[in-house]
Amino acid sequence: MKNPSDSGDARPSPGRFRPFVQAAFFAAACFAVLETVFPLPDWNPNLLVRFSPLLALTTFLSGGIVSFFLPSLLLILSALVAGRVFCGWACPVGAFLDLWDTALRRFLRIRRLRRPQRLDAHSLPRTFKFFILALVLLAAAFGIGLAGWFDPLSLFVRTTTNVFLPGLDHLLFLLHKNPLTGRTFSFADEFFRRRFLLEEPFPLHDTFLVAAFFLFVLLLSFLGSRAWCRFVCPLGALLGLLSPKPRYRRLVYSDLCTECGRCTVKCPPRAIARSGRTTEAPECLLCMECGTECPENAIRYSPASERDEPLLDPKRNVALTRRGLFAGTIAGFVIGPLLKPSSDENPGVIRPPGVASEREFLSRCIRCAECVRVCPSAGLRPTGFETGLSGLWAPRLVPRTGYCEYTCNDCGKVCPTGAIPNLSLVEKQKAVLGLARIDKHRCIPWHEGEPCVVCEEFCPTPTKAIKLSHEKITVKGTVKAVRAPKVVEKDCIGCGICETMCPVDGPAAIRIFPSPHPSEKPVRHESARSTAAAHRDFRTGFDHQPPASACKIS
Amino acid sequence: MKFREESYRVSNWSRREFLSETLLVAAALTAGCGRAAPAAPNGLPLRRRPRTGLKKVLAVVRGTDIPAQVRAAFSALGGLERIISPGMTVLIKPNMSWARRPEQAATTHPEVVGGVVRLCRECRAAKILVLDNTCNNARRSYALSGIAAAARKAGAEVQHLSSADMVRIPLPQPAPFPEWPIARAALEADVIINLPVAKHHSLSRVSLGVKNLMGLIGDDRGDWHKVLPPSLLALQKILVPEVTLLDATRILMNHGPQGGRLDDVRRMNLVAASPDPFAIESFGAEILEAGPDEVPLLTEARKRKLVAPLPRLEESL
């Protein structure tokens, strides 16, 4: 391509706006996570994960509700037009990594990040992301939900919900509680707590694995800048596959380029071949760093026309070989059975309300932790290895930590795939999560003969699934008359508030156990309900109940 | 050389300075982070001294216009201006413990709260706080009960309570616990107005004004149920609300304190106010159809000679 006549002046690269655009998208993403709280706004704040075409694809493969993922068309379109521009300009994980990489370069002076990379285009690490993509898609086709582990949007929401927000929460709380700083920070604490947080800080003890995975993402940067995006991210791989030759791309004025190679060194994803003229579109993040670096001002970013030189080496377009695809498939077959839940039996944990089939739930859950974020009592927690590898980070109710609030059905509203069905409040109040059982060796009335009614007091079912009966308890030879709790099994929905509130130290004297026979579990929802229509009618929501103003009794 | 030495001194701490500074900062940062908050908080009274001036009567107002009933009830006691001077901080403690709707009678009626807030504003109170340590999630309880919206609309400041807002206060003996965390806002308030709703309670038989004060304490309140009456009386002794206004516009007859079944709700159209909390307890027990010996709190209060008969002023609007 010939240089147009006006060239010669140093034109600043549009890349200089990139940090601001990234900051704006990052702030928007954080805002969406913050807003995922009662009362939910009119726009469903799970919007963020619904932008991912990877999750759309795996949701389609696992039989979830694909229509929720309409926003992901936007990303597909962006990839067709401008390649991985999402990765460079909008991805919140990418923005975080750019900041992190800069910090590593500036403050730790990691020299590797400044040298031309050793891990070159066709090296295994770069191909690795395509293996991951193949593995994730294959697993989804076989009913195993792996996409959420690696999808950057899910990763972002999960880590923010489980690590960053609780961290901020604990910090504010400590500052508020401290007598020296309390007066100064009580306002900030009160402000955030009233709007976005719970009364007490979020539990942090069981989110270690989530933090560890994000730490892994950060540590990858020691291999080179944006290492996660280049070597692991399956969404990046998918967007790259969609754009072997995007319309809008990096172009080089051939008569100006001196092949000095500075751009190849500077390029964060190392998507420029040694000559400096050839770009690998599936690797290029369109970050435009090369433009600011070029001493000859020979690089521009514009729609490629017919007359443009074919700058993309077609053989190197996609760093995916036939061998690689084959290996990925084999790996999928090997890893698949390891991950697959062996049966539909309850694995011994309490799943969110309305979840009927364990297998279906795990295959659809994308581990985004939107439900964990929205749960008003912090009862929904990310599972560790308790249910095996396949259940990692899927939500479960931990009743000693928090309970399923009787008047809340928000987890179903914010679940982006329908893994947790979007039940109406009336339906949810009938959904059985488990069954409460009393340990009479620990219960205060049953064991000590002292009065305690906490479980009965808190039981939210209208006619009380815990009743107090007059009992005569023999304690050390003396008979005491006391009212002691008993569970009415047919009324118990296993919401777990009794276990949360039980005043006995250590494990509660009343505990929720998963329903023994999932097939007999009364599930009163139809999957059809979890459709786009149900999704649309979501509001701050007291569906099927009169509005707040109607508080007169006839 | 001298110059170098001096500059060295200026720009760096000596070891001793470093150690003492570090220890000081560490001590400051760790102070109060543990479970035990300071036992004797500076400047806070260990017991509130209530403002007196209201007529010692029980005012009962029947009607359907709730704000008017509230106004009439306080007028019968002599008017809120007898206790609220301009510029004071007033704490209003409704019962908004549960994420229930107003018609379910588990929480104070929002119009009662709104009416009282407006009266306080007419007395030119500088700050009107509405808060509760809820049983269900606070944000949900505040919203679903309708109280937060009504109070904000009437001009009050709605606050949330966390354990960071509590101070450990020794309980007046005899009480089953030596000390307990109590909301700082309650101890600092010039005036406390208690706004309970009349409802059934599975352990204490009725839940009225004194029980409503449990929304101003922290920690694991479940422990209190073992020895409820003496604990509640100790709490009443510390907080001593200036006036209690009982919301009996509709009352919860069974399955309390949370309710949820409209069949258990009875419409009464009553509002009762008195500076004497035990007059309210007796009246509430009466309308909730609890026998004289069925309410352990009243039995204990009678034993301690806290219950005195008060003249009753009845009014219908």
Phi, psi of A466 (to 5 degrees): -120, 125
Of the pLDDT bands very low, low, confident and very high (cuts 50, 70, 90), residue A165 is: very high
Does the CB of B93 have a partner CB in chain A at under 8 Å? no
Number of structural domains chain A divides into: 1
A481 and B CB contact within 8 Å:
no
Backbone angles phi, psi at A114, to 5 degrees: -100, -20
Q: Residue A256 class from Cβ within 10 Å (0-12 exposed, 13-18 middle, 19+ buried)?
A: middle
Which pLDDT score, from 0 to 100, does residue A243 have? 83
Alpha carbons A134 and A138: distance in angstroms, whole number: 6
In the 8-state DSSP scheme, what is residue B215? G
DSSP state of A41: P
What is the pLDDT confidence band of residue A307, given thresholds at 50, 70 and 90? low
pLDDT at B35 over 80: no
- Residue B17: inside a domain, yes or no? no
- Residue B11: pLDDT band (50, 70, 90) is very low
User: B275: which residues sit within 8 A by CB, 6+ positions away?
Assistant: B52, B54, B55, B56, B77, B242, B243, B244
Q: What is the DSSP string of A362-407?
A: HHH-----HHHHH-TTS-EEE--STT-GGGTT-EEE-TTT----TT
pLDDT of residue A181: 83
C-beta atoms of A462 and B28 within 8 A: no
Helix pair A18-35, A152-159: axis angle to 10 deg? 60
Of A312-321, A511-520, B78-87, the range with the lowest mean pLDDT is A312-321
Over chain A, what is the mean pLDDT? 82
- Measured between beta carbons, the chain B residues lying within 8 angstroms of A172 are none
Position A15 scores a pLDDT of 82
Dihedrals phi, psi of A510, to nearest 5 degrees:
-125, 130
Mean pLDDT over all residues of chain B?
A: 87
Mean pLDDT calculated for residue range A361-388? 92
Instruction: Name the percent of chain B in helix, strand, coil, to the closest 5.
Output: 40, 20, 40
CA atoms of A532 and A184, how far apart (whole Å): 46
d(CA B4, CA A121): 55
Cβ contacts of B109 on chain A, cutoff 8 Å: 551
Percent of chain A topping pLDDT 70: 81
**Looking at the complex, does the CB of residue B265 fall below 8 Å from at least one CB of chain A?**
yes
- CA neighbor of A416 nearest in space, from A93, A72, A31, A160: A72
Q: How far is B249 from chain A, CA to nearest CA, in Å?
A: 10
From B30, which residue of chain A is nearest by alpha-carbon distance? A178
**Interval A35-39 mean pLDDT:** 91
pLDDT value at position A518?
Answer: 45
* The pLDDT value given to residue A544: 37
* Band of pLDDT at residue A470, cut at 50, 70 and 90: very high
Strands (E), chain B: 58-62, 89-94, 127-130, 157-158, 166-170, 179-183, 191-195, 197-201, 205-207, 243-252, 265-274, 312-316
Residue A362 lies in a domain: no
Q: Looking at residues A147-152, what average pLDDT do you find?
A: 94
- Which is more confidently placed, A313 or A323? A323
Residue A3 has pLDDT above 80, yes or no: no
Find where tokens 């309210």 sit: B280
Partner A contacted by B5 (CB < 8 A): no
- Closest-CA residue of chain A to B250: A553
Q: Is the pLDDT of residue A516 over 80?
A: no
Burial (CB < 10 A; 0-12, 13-18, 19+), residue A142, is middle
A343 versus A227: the higher-pLDDT residue is: A227
Instruction: Taking residues A331-347, report their average pLDDT.
Output: 66
Q: What CATH number has the domain bearing residue A477? A: 3.30.70.20
Residue type, A282: P
When mean pLDDT is compared over A19-28, A284-293, B50-59, B289-298, the highest value belongs to A19-28
pLDDT of residue A410: 94
Residues whose CB falls within 8 Å of the CB of residue B66, separated by 6 or more in sequence, listed in order: B109, B111, B112, B115, B249, B271
State phi, psi for B110 to the nearest 5 degrees: -60, -30
Which of residues 129 through 148 in chain B touch A, CB cutoff 8 A? Answer: 134-140, 143-144, 146
ipTM for this prediction? 0.82
pLDDT at A373 exceeding the cut of 50: yes
> What pLDDT score does B165 carry?
87
Q: How far apart are CA A273 and CA A121, in angstroms?
A: 8
**Chain segment A384-443, per-residue pLDDT in tens:** 888 888 889 999 999 999 999 999 999 999 999 989 999 999 999 999 999 999 999 999
Residue A260 lies in a domain: no
pLDDT given for residue B134 in this prediction? 93
Average pLDDT over residues B59-87: 95
Please give the pLDDT value at position A324: 67
Residue B105 has pLDDT above 90, yes or no: yes
Q: What is the pLDDT of residue A539?
A: 32
Is A506 inside any structural domain? yes
Give the Cα separation of A553 and B203 in Å (integer): 27
> Is A447 contained in some domain?
yes
Task: Please check whether residue B29 is in contact with residue B47, taking contact to mean a CB–CB distance below 8 angstroms.
Answer: no
CATH of residue B219's domain is: 3.40.50.11440
B102 touches chain A (CB under 8 A): yes
pTM of the model: 0.85
- A43, HSE (Cβ side, Cα atoms, 13 Å): 9
Model pLDDT, residue A552 = 40
Please compute the mean of the pLDDT values over residues A463-484 and round it to a whole number: 92
pLDDT of residue B22: 75
Q: How far is CA A13 from the centre of its chain?
A: 34
C-beta atoms surrounding A23 within 10 Å:
12
Residue A464 resides in a domain: yes
Instruction: Enter the tokens of residue B238.
Output: 């510390």
pLDDT at A237 over 90: yes
pLDDT at residue A554, as a whole number: 33
CB atoms inside a 10 Å sphere around CB A219 = 11
Number of domains forming the structure of chain B: 1
Rounded-to-integer distance, Cα A538 and Cα A361, Å: 21
The answer as to whether A473 is a domain residue is yes
Which of B33, B136, B255 has its CB closest to that of A177? B33
B254: left (phi over 0), alpha (psi -120 to 50) or beta: beta
Give, in order, the Cα–Cα distances in Å from A458 to each of A455, A464, B71, B135.
Answer: 5, 9, 34, 8
Q: pLDDT tens digits, residue range B113-163?
A: 999 999 999 999 999 999 999 999 898 999 999 999 999 999 999 998 888
pLDDT at residue B85, as a whole number: 93
Return the pLDDT at B60.
96
- Is residue A457 less than 8 Å (CB to CB) from chain B? yes
User: Which chain B positions have a beta carbon within 8 Å of A463's beta carbon?
Assistant: 255, 261
* Cα three-residue angle B147-B151-B155, rounded to 5 degrees: 170
If one compares A107 and B268, the residue with the highest pLDDT of the two is B268
- Residue B108: which domain range? 32-316
- Distance from A51 to chain B by nearest Cα, in Å? 29
Query: Which residues in B253-303 belong to E strands, given as ranges?
Result: 265-274
- Indicate the length of chain A as a whole number: 554
Quote the tokens at residue A280: 């690998």
- B36: nearest CA partner in chain A: A177
- For residue A538, the model assigns a pLDDT of 37
Q: A202 CB contacts (<8 Å, ≥6 apart)?
A: A165, A166, A169, A170, A378
Provide the residue range defining the domain that includes A486.
434-514
Considering only the beta carbons, identify the residue of A186, A501, A552 that sits closest to B222: A501
CA distance A96 to A94: 5
Residue A100 has pLDDT above 90, yes or no: yes
Per-residue three-class SS string for A118-133: CCCCCCHHHHHHHHHH
The answer to whether residue B149 sits within a structural domain is yes
Between residues B293 and A543, the one the model is more confident about: B293
Is A249 part of any domain?
no
Q: pLDDT higher for A403 or A293?
A: A403
Mark yes or no for CB contact B33/A178 under 8 Å. Answer: yes
Token pair of A506 as six digits = 């250590």
Confidence of residue A317 (pLDDT cuts 50, 70, 90): very low
pLDDT at residue B232 tops 80: yes
Inspect the interface and report whether the beta carbons of B255 and A463 lie closer than 8 Å.
Answer: yes
